């Protein structure tokens, strides 16, 4: 049987979303996992999510929240809500987990596929890619035909042909030979494209097909955990609207 890869990212400590996505992966026949980073931040189960993602034994790249939490970066320049969640998350993780996060690579290439959290155009700065110009800056650094990323929490496809870069709405497709693709897998734990369902991507390397999956999960349960942890109410509310 051939391989089927699941690409998960921006899980953001949302255990309810992660468990539902992994159940869907098993149903779909996934054989391998890849993670585009931001396992922690925003939601209330960072330790559990990190434990589960590590148990998958998959490549994981450094997300900006993974970095903020584990680098002990000074939070004076952060808005108070963001700083509160980062500080709370630090208290939930063991020293070993903090060290694990702090040592994640910014870029990983495995099986001819590159992973980066935001963009390969200075990956440590976590710039946002929302349009074809920002994607063009990324493509100058992308060596493999396929690269997966996240960070904006909005699924999207960027295609590089000779002389031009195009932005294509997320849709199932087959990778033609001779072009490069930069695929945003969306967010498992905090979608922001107006669809509250958890997002991830399936890639079949033999058939060269990409599928964008959306799965409904128990949003109310995730919200209850955020409220119970005393995290900002806005973080619970946004889960219901996918923003
Ligand atoms: Zn994120």
Average of per-residue pLDDT values in the chain:
96
Query: How far is Cα 128 from Cα 92, in angstroms, rounded to an integer?
Result: 28
Going from the Cα of 115 to the center of ligand 1, the distance in angstroms, rounded, reads: 14
* Domain ranges, residue 95: 5-239
For residue 53, count other CB atoms closer than 10 A to its CB: 21
Going from the Cα of 29 to the center of ligand 1, the distance in angstroms, rounded, reads: 26
Q: Looking at residue 73, what is its pLDDT?
A: 79
Going from the Cα of 151 to the center of ligand 1, the distance in angstroms, rounded, reads: 5
- Please count the structural domains in the chain: 1
Going from the Cα of 213 to the center of ligand 1, the distance in angstroms, rounded, reads: 18
In this model, does residue 118 exceed pLDDT 80?
yes
**Element housing 149 (H / E):** strand 146-149
Q: What pTM value is reported for the model?
A: 0.96
In this model, does residue 2 exceed pLDDT 80?
yes
In this model, does residue 75 exceed pLDDT 90?
no
Q: What is the pLDDT of residues 131-154, one digit of tens each?
A: 999 999 999 999 999 999 999 999
Going from the Cα of 163 to the center of ligand 1, the distance in angstroms, rounded, reads: 31
Going from the Cα of 212 to the center of ligand 1, the distance in angstroms, rounded, reads: 18
In this model, does residue 182 exceed pLDDT 90?
yes
**CA dihedral sign of residues 233, 236, 240, 243:** positive
Q: What is the pLDDT of residues 19-44, one digit of tens each?
A: 999 999 999 999 999 999 999 999 99
Q: Looking at residue 82, what is its pLDDT?
A: 82
162 or 201, greater pLDDT: 201
List Cβ<8 Å contacts ≥24 apart for 237-241.
238/190, 238/192, 239/14, 239/43, 239/190, 239/196, 240/196, 241/194, 241/196
Q: Pseudo-torsion of CA 218, 220, 226, 230, nearest 10°?
A: -160
- Cα-flanking dihedrals φ and ψ of residue 100, to 5°? -55, -50
Going from the Cα of 12 to the center of ligand 1, the distance in angstroms, rounded, reads: 7
pLDDT band at 92 (very low <50, low <70, confident <90, very high): very high
For residue 95, count other CB atoms closer than 10 A to its CB: 7
Going from the Cα of 145 to the center of ligand 1, the distance in angstroms, rounded, reads: 24
Going from the Cα of 89 to the center of ligand 1, the distance in angstroms, rounded, reads: 14
Going from the Cα of 14 to the center of ligand 1, the distance in angstroms, rounded, reads: 12
Going from the Cα of 10 to the center of ligand 1, the distance in angstroms, rounded, reads: 5
Query: How far is Cα 98 from Cα 75, in angstroms, rounded to an integer?
Result: 17
Q: What is the mean pLDDT of residues 101-125?
A: 96
Going from the Cα of 156 to the center of ligand 1, the distance in angstroms, rounded, reads: 15
pLDDT band at 80 (very low <50, low <70, confident <90, very high): confident
In this model, does residue 72 exceed pLDDT 90?
no
Going from the Cα of 72 to the center of ligand 1, the distance in angstroms, rounded, reads: 18
| Token output for 70 | 């584990």
CATH number of the domain enclosing 83 = 3.60.21.10
Query: How far is Cα 210 from Cα 121, in angstroms, rounded to an integer?
Result: 24
Q: Looking at residue 49, what is its pLDDT?
A: 98
* % residues pLDDT > 90 (the chain): 91
- Which of these, 163, 223, 166, lies nearest to 189 by C-alpha position? 223
Q: What is the pLDDT of residues 212-241, one digit of tens each?
A: 999 999 999 999 999 999 999 999 999 999
């Amino acid at each position: 049987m051939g391989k089927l890869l699941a690409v998960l990212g921006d899980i953001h400590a949302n255990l309810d979303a992660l468990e539902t996505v992994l159940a869907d992966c098993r149903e779909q026949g996934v054989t391998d996992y890849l993670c585009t980073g931001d396992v922690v931040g925003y939601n209330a189960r960072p330790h559990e999510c990190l434990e589960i993602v590590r148990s998958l034994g998959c490549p994981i790249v450094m997300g900006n929240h993974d970095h903020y939490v584990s680098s002990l970066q000074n939070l004076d320049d952060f808005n108070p809500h963001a700083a509160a969640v980062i500080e709370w998350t630090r208290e939930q993780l063991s020293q070993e987990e903090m060290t694990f996060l702090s040592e994640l690579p910014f870029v990983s290439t495995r099986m001819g596929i590159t992973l980066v959290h935001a963009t390969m155009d200075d990956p440590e700065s976590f710039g946002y890619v929302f349009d074809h110009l920002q994607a063009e800056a990324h493509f100058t650094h992308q060596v493999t035909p396929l690269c997966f990323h996240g960070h904006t929490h909005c699924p999207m496809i960027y295609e590089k042909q000779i002389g031009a870069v195009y932005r294509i709405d997320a849709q199932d497709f087959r990778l033609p030979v001779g072009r490069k693709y930069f695929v945003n897998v969306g967010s498992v734990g905090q979608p922001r494209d107006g669809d509250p369902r958890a997002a991830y991507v399936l890639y079949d390397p033999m058939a060269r097909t990409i599928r964008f999956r959306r799965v409904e999960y128990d949003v109310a349960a995730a919200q209850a955990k955020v409220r119970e942890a005393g995290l900002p109410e806005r973080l619970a509310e946004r889960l219901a609207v996918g923003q």
